[in-house]
Amino acid sequence: MKQYKYMTQNHYVYILASKKNGTLYIGSTKDLVKRVWQHKRKYMKGFTEKYNVNLLVYIEVLQDSDAMFTRERQLKKWKRVWKIRLIEEKNPEWTDLYEEIV
């Protein structure tokens, strides 16, 4: 499993899942720990709360906000099978990566 170094100056695109091969959510943020914590605590009402999507299964680190937003939009347009392949290339067991970033 790849170890992630959490750094606040980076920008992140992430994928959350409800379970292995379950419902997926793609998001982006500059503060990954805080944002995933919010998803896990159902801090904000919406999709992830409704479908219990709170396992951090994929992280991509980008250097600036333009790249972050571009990549997020790109991944959201992908077919589901492509997203699953992307997750399983780096995280075949769909392990929750949250503990690696806190």
State pTM to two decimals.
0.91
Q: What is the pLDDT of residue 1?
A: 44
Give buried/exposed letters for 17-44 (b at 16+ CB in 10 A, else e).
beeeeeebbbbbbeebeebbebbbeeee
pLDDT per residue, tens digit, the chain (102 aa), is 455 555 557 999 999 999 999 999 999 999 999 999 999 999 989 999 999 999 999 999 999 999 999 999 999 999 999 999 999 999 999 999 999 999
Pairing of strands 24-29, 11-17: antiparallel
Separation between Cα atoms, residue 81 and residue 92, nearest integer Å: 14
> CB neighbours of 89 closer than 8 A, spacing ≥ 6?
none
Please give the structure tokens belonging to residue 56.
């951090």
Sorted by where each starts, the structural domains of the chain and their CATH numbers stand as 11-101 (3.40.1440.10)
Q: What is the pLDDT of residue 4?
A: 58
Only one residue has tokens 């920008």, namely 11
